[in-house]
Structures are given as structure tokens and as C-alpha cells.
Chain A
Amino acid sequence: MIHRVTLPIPQASVAEWRAGDVVIVSGILLTARDLAHRRILNAAETGWDLPFDPTGLPIFHCGPLARRDASGWTITGLGPTTSARMESSTPAILARYQTPFLIGKGGMGPATRQSLIDHRAAYLAAVGGTGALGARAVDGVVGVYWLEEVGMPDAVWILRVRGYGPLVVTMDSTGRDLHDEIARAAETRSTTV
């Protein structure tokens, strides 16, 4: 099943996505890697105001490649980074910011799986390495935060995308996890060689 969605999207729609569905997204999302996750949570704990509001925005595990000239920023590479690095901070983020879905690669662990069920959210896998296609889907840079402090890949980029995908729902709100299913099957097959 293919879902073409425009953000913001009601959580009830995300809750209906099932593992194996394909999603193409348009609208505003933010990028954050492990460093940005830690900074966001740190701010929440210390009562420090964030310079941006992550509420309701999909989180893309991605360190973009960007170029700046007189007319502003152009994204020249946009694709997923390994999501496992965000495992420890994701449940707290999902609980706090009503994140509708995550985009990344490689899947996540049991804590995230449970919190996707709790918050009726989903995890979408982008094809690793397809940074040129991603760059072409970017319609504009809405804002970039913490660039000075953490550098280009680890900064938080708020981006408007159009027709970004294909993304595959690999962890859905019923607790299914395609990464886990495929890894188990692969392990079983490889022990019989």
C-alpha cells in the first residue's frame, strides 16, 4: 500500500500504517542525530528553551550535506544515518514532542518499539545512501540550529520536502518490526550452511 501524505498528519492516520507499506512525504520535518537528541533532552530537563519547537514534526535521523551562498542554503545531500544511535533517547523524545513518525535506517530497539506502540507512531526506513534523491526532494531550508556548536551533520535542520521517498514502514504501531523479522530469518538460514 502506498500512502502519499502531506504534513502535518493526524496520529490516527499514522496508527493505520502497517509494516511493509510505502510512504511518500511532503511538508516540514526536522533532522536530528544523536548529539541533537541529547541536546534536546538536556534542554527539556534543565528547563532551557529550545530555539525551535519539535512538537509534531517527524524526526529524520540524518546529517545533511549543505552548501551556503548569497541566496542561502542549498541541501546537496539528504539521506538516513544509522538509527540505532538514537535508541536511548528516542522514547523520551516521542513522549514529549508527539513525534508522528521517525525516518532512519537499520531500525531501532525494543524500547523504541514499545514507545511506537504507546504513542501510535511509526518508524520508516529510507534507502541508505540515496542522498542525491533526498537532496532533490528538498523544497527549502526553514531553519538550521546549533550549526556553530556541533557542525553541519549534527545540527538540527528544519526542512520542507516535496515527494520524499520511497520510505518503507518497518516498525508500526502494532509492534511489528521488519528489521527484527528479517534478521532472525537470516540468522536461521545462515546456521544451516
Chain B
Amino acid sequence: MTRREQWVSALERAVRTATVVLPRDVVQALRGALDRETTELARLHLETILENERVARENGLPLCQDTGTPVFFVRAGAESPWLADLPDALSDAVRAATDSVPLRPSAIHPFTDENVGNVARGVPVIDWDLVPGRDLEITYVAKGGGSENASGLLFVPPGAGSDAVLRAVLTHVVRVAPRACPPIVIGVGIGGTADWALRLAKRALVRRLDARHPDPSIAAFEVRLLDAVNRSGIGPAGLGGATTALAVHADFAYRHPASLPVGVALQCWADRRATVRIPESGIAEVME
């Protein structure tokens, strides 16, 4: 097997795993939610989601028929010898998985509606985060259309403080959550420029569900927002209950004095992700 084939095979396996097997932290969060729900419908919906998880895993079926836009978050060690080879391998892996899983063809020309599969201009999406070091860490995320449409870019009056940010995000999330297949995961990027706020929000989605931000003020914001969102009563499947969101992940950047952009990215309960590492040796390895 050539190096390229070994990478493509590992990456294809990661795409398949993400598509078929819900990560353990998400399953745990869903089970915890089921324990807390008291109404019949909310429990029925969570039981259905967990039953779906089991059927998918045991039969090798995609969790959801929308296998999503393929997105790779790459933490790229600046001194990795493999940087230049990666993008083509990512496209090949998506192509291979489209046939083998199979994935639903989901790359459509914005004007002509022509559906060309899952590899095209701008697809898969690759987010590069250049970090010191020699390793590549690649996390695949299947991003569903329903939850992507619920993204938001909000402009909060600068200087209005964390309460104003919380209220703005809460208002947005309460409006869109029913369409994003709740219980959802909420990514919030606070500050920076507009595009950066959204990027921070998107990257925050990749975190493990139980990990809080290391900065205590951001961690406190995450806890308060989660509590407020869950008090909305939107609930699993948007049909009532105590669990609208499983987690909030926030991150921040310093802002311009006159501007406070806040990006909001949502992921559905089908929070499908899997990670591959390519160390300096060049042997790709799917992480557990």
C-alpha cells in the first residue's frame, strides 16, 4: 500500500465511523437527558433517537439520511512534512466513502441545482488551524443542512457585556432550535471579526461535550446559556421537554472597540465526528 492509499483508507474509515457510530460522549449525554425527562413525548423522542443509534451501529447504516456536508477540521503542525499532500487525500477519502458507506450525494451547484456528488469546488470544507509541531490532527464532521441553516451572525452593541451576548444568542437559538434536530450542540464565537466569530463558533463544536472552556468567565457563560436554552421547553425533536441542548461550547477573541460580532453554529443531536492523526512518520491512525 502506498502512503497515499494508507491515508485514504484511514480517512475513509473515519468518515464511515462518523456517519454510522455516534461518539460515546454524545450517547452518554443523550442517556443522561433521558433520565431527566419526565413527559411521555420527550422520553419517546429520546428513546427513538437512542434506538436509531443502536440500529445504525449494529447494521452499519448511516445515523441520518442526510449524511451532511463533509467538513475537515485540521490542526496542522506547521513543521509537518505532509501538509501539501493532505487536501487531495481528503477529497479522495470522501469520494471513496461516498461509494462505500454510501453517503448521499450532497454537493449541489448554487444556481443550476446540479448535484455532483460530494467532491466539488469548496467541498469537502477544510478548516486549517496552523499550530506549532509536526503532527496533523484531522477531525471529520458531517454537517447536516438543517442545523447549518440555523447558524447565526449577531452584532451585539459593543460594551453591553456578557448578559447582552447571552440574551442575543438565546433569542436566536430559541427561534431556530426546533429546525436543527434538537437536542443540539451550540457553538458560540464571541468577538474578533465577523468571519472569525463564526469560525470560532464552528471550531468550538468539535470539542468533547463535557469539556468546558479553560477561561472561567467563558466557562460560566457556557453553563448559563445551556441552562437558559434548556428552560425554553423546546425539548427533544422540538416537541417539548427539558433537553433542547446537550452542550454549549464558547470561545472568544479580542474585538474592535466599535464592534462585537457573535457567531452561532449549531450541530444536531447527530453530532457525527471522528479523528485521524498523521504524525511525522506519515502513518495515519484513526483515533478512538
Residues of chain A having any CB pair with chain B under 8 Å:
20, 22, 35, 62-65, 67, 76-79, 81-82, 84, 105-107, 125, 127-136, 150-154, 166, 168, 170, 178-179, 182-183, 185-187, 189-190, 193
B235: chain A residues at CB < 8 Å are 182
Query: Nearest Cβ distance between residue B42 and chain A, in whole angstroms?
Result: 11
Q: A79-B64, A130-B64 are in contact. Are A186 and B233 (CB under 8 A)?
A: yes
Can you list, as one digit per residue, whether each of B145-161 has a CB less than 8 Å from chain A (1) or not (0)? 11001000000000000
Contact status B65-A166, CB under 8 Å: no
Contact status B64-A168, CB under 8 Å: no
Query: Which of B50-58, B84-92, B207-215 sits within the interface?
Result: B50-58
Query: Nearest Cβ distance between residue A48 and chain B, in whole angstroms?
Result: 20
Contact status B234-A132, CB under 8 Å: no
B96: chain A residues at CB < 8 Å are none
Contact status A125-B237, CB under 8 Å: yes
Nearest 8 A/B pairs, CB to CB: A77-B65, A131-B65, A128-B181, A132-B56, A151-B115, A186-B232, A130-B52, A132-B61
**Docked complex Cα distance between A170 and B238 (Å):** 11
Contact status B65-A79, CB under 8 Å: yes
Residues of chain B having any CB pair with chain A under 8 Å:
41, 44-45, 48-49, 51-53, 55-56, 59, 61-67, 102-106, 108, 113, 115, 144-146, 149, 166-167, 170-171, 174-175, 178-179, 181, 228, 231-240, 268-270
Contact status B146-A65, CB under 8 Å: no
A105: chain B residues at CB < 8 Å are 146, 179, 181, 237-238
Taking a contact as CB atoms closer than 8 A, the residue among A20, A131, A182 that contacts B62 in the complex is A131
Taking a contact as CB atoms closer than 8 A, the residue among B48, B102, B240 that contacts A65 in the complex is B102
Q: A63-B65, A131-B66 given; name 9 further pairs at CB < 8 Å.
A: A125-B237, A125-B238, A129-B49, A132-B62, A132-B63, A153-B115, A154-B115, A168-B237, A182-B235
Q: A62-B65, A129-B270, A152-B104 are in contact. Are A189 and B56 (CB under 8 A)?
A: no
Q: A106-B178, A182-B234 are in contact. Are A190 and B55 (CB under 8 A)?
A: no
B175: chain A residues at CB < 8 Å are 183, 187
Query: Nearest Cβ distance between residue A65 and chain B, in whole angstroms?
Result: 4
A65: chain B residues at CB < 8 Å are 62, 65, 67, 102-104
**Docked complex Cα distance between A125 and B174 (Å):** 19
B41: chain A residues at CB < 8 Å are 20, 168
**Docked complex Cα distance between A64 and B102 (Å):** 12
**Docked complex Cα distance between A67 and B228 (Å):** 43
B232: chain A residues at CB < 8 Å are 186, 189-190
CB<8 Å pairs between A and B, sample of 29 = A76-B62, A105-B179, A125-B239, A127-B52, A128-B238, A129-B64, A129-B66, A129-B268, A129-B270, A130-B49, A130-B52, A132-B62, A132-B64, A134-B65, A135-B61, A136-B55, A151-B108, A151-B115, A152-B104, A153-B105, A168-B237, A179-B178, A182-B239, A183-B234, A189-B232, A189-B233, A190-B171, A190-B231, A193-B167
A82: chain B residues at CB < 8 Å are 145-146, 149, 179
Taking a contact as CB atoms closer than 8 A, the residue among B52, B179, B231 that contacts A189 in the complex is B231
Contact status B61-A131, CB under 8 Å: yes
B145: chain A residues at CB < 8 Å are 81-82
Q: CB-nearest residue of chain A relative to B48?
A: A127
B64: chain A residues at CB < 8 Å are 77, 79, 129-132
Q: CB-nearest residue of chain B relative to A165?
A: B48
Q: CB-nearest residue of chain A relative to B178?
A: A106
B103: chain A residues at CB < 8 Å are 65
**Docked complex Cα distance between A128 and B177 (Å):** 12
Contact status B234-A67, CB under 8 Å: no
Contact status B240-A131, CB under 8 Å: no
Query: Nearest Cβ distance between residue A44 and chain B, in whole angstroms?
Result: 21
Contact status A178-B239, CB under 8 Å: yes
Query: Nearest Cβ distance between residue A32 and chain B, in whole angstroms?
Result: 14
A81: chain B residues at CB < 8 Å are 66, 145-146
**Docked complex Cα distance between A151 and B45 (Å):** 30
